[in-house]
Amino acid sequence: MNETGTAAGTPPVAVEIRGASKIFNTGRHNEVKALEDIELHIDRGDFVTLIGPSGCGKSTLLRLIAALVDANEGTVLVNGKTADRARLDRDYSMVFQRAGLFDWRNVSRNIELPLELMGWKAADRRRRAAEMLELVKLTEFARHHPAELSGGMQQRIAIARAMSFHPQLLLMDEPFGALDEMTREHMQNELLRIWSETQITVVFVTHSIPEAVFLSTRVAVMSPRPGRIAAIIDNDLGPRNEATRDDPAFFANVTAVRDALRGGHSP
C-alpha cells in the first residue's frame, strides 16, 4: 500500500483524456470556456510539456489531470481510473510554481508531509526523507528551515516532497518559472537526472520554448480562447546534456514548437 512503485500489471497509458472541456462560472456573466475538446494520451515514462501563451488553459489542464478541477465534459483517466480515484489513491504528485514549503517545518519534515498524511511511521518517514534529500543532493540541509534556502533549493525540496511517496506521475506547474536563468538551467538538468533515475511520468507546464524542448519527449502546444491542443510535437533528442542546448536538432525543434505556437495565434 505504501510502496506504490510501478507494478507490472498497471496499464501502459498514464494519462488518457478524451473530449474534455472545462467551463468556469457556468451560466454567469463571467463565463469562461477554459478548455475545449482536449484529447491527450501520455504513456508511462513519458515527459510531456504543455506549452502555450498565458490563458491558454495549460494550468487548468494540469489541474484536470490532478482532479483539483472537474471537467464539464469528457473523461480524464489516470492509470486507467478516474482522475479523482487516482488522486485518492495518491497516484500522482504535484509541484507548483512557488515551492510552497511550510516555513514552520524544517526541510526534512516538509518532505515527510505527504507520508504523514498517509499514516507512515516516523522512522520510515525519516528514512525516506533522507533518501529524497540524497536524490536532490541537499542532504546537509535536512534540519534547515525553508526561509533559509534560496529559491532554487526550495524548489528542489518541493520536488523531493513530491517524489517522497514514489508516485507514478509527477505534475509540474511552471515549477522553474520564478527562477533566474542560470538556476533554471541547473534545475532542468537536475530534473532530467531524477526523471531518468526514477522512470517517473512527468507532465510539465511551461511557457518557455527552450525549456519545453530541452526537457520533454513530447511537446503539446496549446492555443488560447478556448484552450485547445493545437499540435503535439515529438521531440526525440535522445539523452540530454549541456551539449544538447547547442545541438541543431534542438534548435530545429524549438523552431517547430514556435511555428506551432504562431499557428495557434494566427491561422
Partner 1 sequence: MSDPAAQNPAAQNPAAQDPAADDPIVFEQLLRLQAAREQRRDRMRRTGRQVVVLAAFICLLGLAYSAYKVVGTAIDDAQSGWPVIGSILPESDDLKMPPVLDIVSGVFEEPRGTGEPFWSIVGKEAAFTLREAAVGFAIGVLVGLSIAIALTTSRHLERALVPYVIASQTIPLIAIAPIIVIWGRKSFDFLPFEWQDWMSVSIIATYLTFFPVTINGLRGLQSPRSENLELMDSYAARWGQTLWRLRLPASLPYLFAAFKIAATASVVGAIVGEISAGVKGGLGRRVLLEAQRYTTGPERLYVAVLGAAALGIFVFAVISSIEYTLIGRKGRETVT
Contacting positions for partner 1 (CB under 8 A): 63, 66, 68, 87-90, 92-94, 96-98, 100, 102-104, 113-114, 116-118, 137-141, 144-145, 147-150, 152-153, 171, 182-183, 186
Instruction: Provide the strand spans (E) within the chain.
Output: 13-24, 32-43, 47-51, 73-78, 81-82, 92-95, 169-173, 201-206, 218-223, 228-234
Peptide bond between residue 226 and the one before it cis (omega within 30 degrees of 0): yes
Q: Residues 232, 41: contact at Cβ < 8 Å?
A: no
Minimum Å gap between C-beta 98 and partner 1 is: 6
Single-letter code of the amino acid located at 211: E
CA distance 58 to 148: 32
Single-letter code of the amino acid located at 216: S
Of 233, 239, 218, the C-alpha closest to 263 is 233
Minimum Å gap between C-beta 73 and partner 1 is: 22
Minimum Å gap between C-beta 185 and partner 1 is: 10
Inter-helix orientation angle 107-117/122-135, to 10°: 120
CA distance 213 to 233: 10
Minimum Å gap between C-beta 171 and partner 1 is: 8
Nine cell digits for residue 29: 456573466
**Quick one: 92 or 230, whose CB is closer to partner 1?**
92
Minimum Å gap between C-beta 177 and partner 1 is: 12
**Quick one: 116 or 259, whose CB is closer to partner 1?**
116
**Quick one: 104 or 251, whose CB is closer to partner 1?**
104
**Quick one: 90 or 258, whose CB is closer to partner 1?**
90
Minimum Å gap between C-beta 93 and partner 1 is: 7
CA distances from residue 2 to 7, 90, 109, 252 in whole angstroms, order as listed: 13, 10, 18, 43
**Quick one: 3 or 140, whose CB is closer to partner 1?**
140
Q: Residues 67, 238: contact at Cβ < 8 Å?
A: no
**Quick one: 10 or 139, whose CB is closer to partner 1?**
139
**Quick one: 118 or 130, whose CB is closer to partner 1?**
118
Q: Say if residue 10 is exposed, middle or buried (CB neighbours under 10 Å; 0-12, 13-18, 19+).
A: middle
User: Terminal CA-to-CA distance of the chain, rounded, Å?
Assistant: 50
Minimum Å gap between C-beta 13 and partner 1 is: 21
